[in-house]
Amino acid sequence: QKEVEQDPGPLSVPEGAIVSLNCTYSNSAFQYFMWYRQYSRKGPELLMYTYSSGNKEDGRFTAQVDKSSKYISLFIRDSQPSDSATYLCAMINSGGSNYKLTFGKGTLLTVNP
Amino acid sequence: DTGVSQDPRHKITKRGQNVTFRCDPISEHNRLYWYRQTLGQGPEFLTYFQNEAQLEKSRLLSDRFSAERPKGSFSTLEIQRTEQGDSAMYLCASSSLTDGTQYFGPGTRLLVL
């Protein structure tokens, strides 16, 4: 079992839809949780960064962390065609001596106009 | 500040040849990371520098791979005797000591024929 599991999709939604993206993880030492967006043939771009359990909102994006269930989510409201990309969840083990990111596989999202 | 830059953006080589990639981190970022991303997968950690010291190497980094960060500024990743399995996107990221947020470069896409 991989440390971080993420459904690769693909996920296709109409413009304006609410999108829900999810990851599960097995390592209870993960404390920092991120969502990155990656456009085709580009490097990942940080969208959201949360620490431990709770919610964080930034514009149309909301990140949720449920450490008891080892489950994190990213919600995108009023989705736009420009949101079409691969969304990667990533986590950091707070007990480690470095800050290496452990990523999920990524979910490919297409928002259709 | 122009972000993390990587050079070249694309590299095609024949099996058995050596290749070298360069990463220029965000100025004054002490930490620098290398990741490898294959098609349909999330990035996987390869190695990590704090200033000029290489502090951790993944088991993915075989003896054919070597990374340096002279003077704690730019970094190079060299692959000797390339194999077809080395074909991937090689990503560099950097972060500051005070904020662990990792900012990625655009990546170098390697194709080994």
Q: What is the DSSP string of chain B?
A: ----EEE-SEEEE-TT--EEEEEE-STT--EEEEEEE-TTS--EEEEEEETTEEEEE-TTS-TTEEEE-GGGS-EEEEESS--GGG-EEEEEEEE-SS----EE---EEEEE-
What does the pLDDT read at residue A96?
61
Average pLDDT of span A24-39: 93
Task: Please say if the pLDDT value at position A102 is more than 70.
Answer: yes
- Select the residue of A6, A92, A98 nearest B55 (Cβ to Cβ): A98
- Find out whether A47 and B104 touch, Cβ atoms under 8 Å: no
What does the pLDDT read at residue B30?
92
- B20-35 pLDDT, tens digit per residue, is 999 999 998 999 999 9
Average pLDDT, chain B: 93
Q: Which of B5, B37, B55, B97 to mutate to test the interface with A (most CBs of A within 10 A)?
A: B37
What does the pLDDT read at residue A103?
96
Give yes or no for B25 touching A (CB within 8 A): no
What does the pLDDT read at residue B71?
85
Among residues A87, A43, A108, A102, the alpha carbon closest in space to that of B90 is found at A43
Give yes or no for B104 touching A (CB within 8 A): yes
- B36-57 pLDDT, tens digit per residue, is 999 989 999 999 999 999 988 9
Task: Please say if the pLDDT value at position A4 is more than 70.
Answer: yes
- Select the residue of A43, A98, A104 nearest B91 (Cβ to Cβ): A43
Query: Residue A38: pLDDT band by 50, 70, 90 thresholds?
Result: very high
What does the pLDDT read at residue B60?
82
Among residues B36, B9, B14, the alpha carbon closest in space to that of B92 is found at B36
Please give the backbone phi and psi of residue A17, each rounded to the nearest 5 degrees, phi first. Answer: -70, 160
What percentage of chain B reaches a pLDDT higher than 70? 99
Task: Please say if the pLDDT value at position A91 is more than 90.
Answer: yes
Cβ-count burial of B41 within 10 angstroms (0-12 exposed, 13-18 middle, 19+ buried)? middle
Cβ-based contacts of B24 with chain A (< 8 Å): none
The amino acid sitting at B109 is R
- Find out whether A99 and A43 touch, Cβ atoms under 8 Å: no
- Select the residue of A43, A92, A105 nearest B42 (Cβ to Cβ): A105
What does the pLDDT read at residue A64?
96
Average pLDDT of span B62-70: 94
What does the pLDDT read at residue A60?
97
Beta-carbon separation of B42 and A99 below 8 A: no
Cβ-based contacts of A101 with chain B (< 8 Å): 33, 35, 43, 45, 93, 102
Cβ-count burial of B30 within 10 angstroms (0-12 exposed, 13-18 middle, 19+ buried)? middle
Please give the backbone phi and psi of residue B86, each rounded to the nearest 5 degrees, phi first. Answer: -80, -10
Cβ-based contacts of B36 with chain A (< 8 Å): none
Give yes or no for A106 touching B (CB within 8 A): yes
Q: What is d(CA A82, CA A113) in angstroms, rounded to the nearest whole number?
A: 10
Average pLDDT of span B56-61: 87
Query: Residue A2: pLDDT band by 50, 70, 90 thresholds?
Result: confident
Average pLDDT of span B72-88: 95
Beta bridge partners of A62: A57, A75
- Find out whether B100 and A92 touch, Cβ atoms under 8 Å: yes
What does the pLDDT read at residue A106?
95
- Select the residue of B6, B33, B106 nearest A100 (Cβ to Cβ): B33
Cβ-based contacts of B105 with chain A (< 8 Å): 43
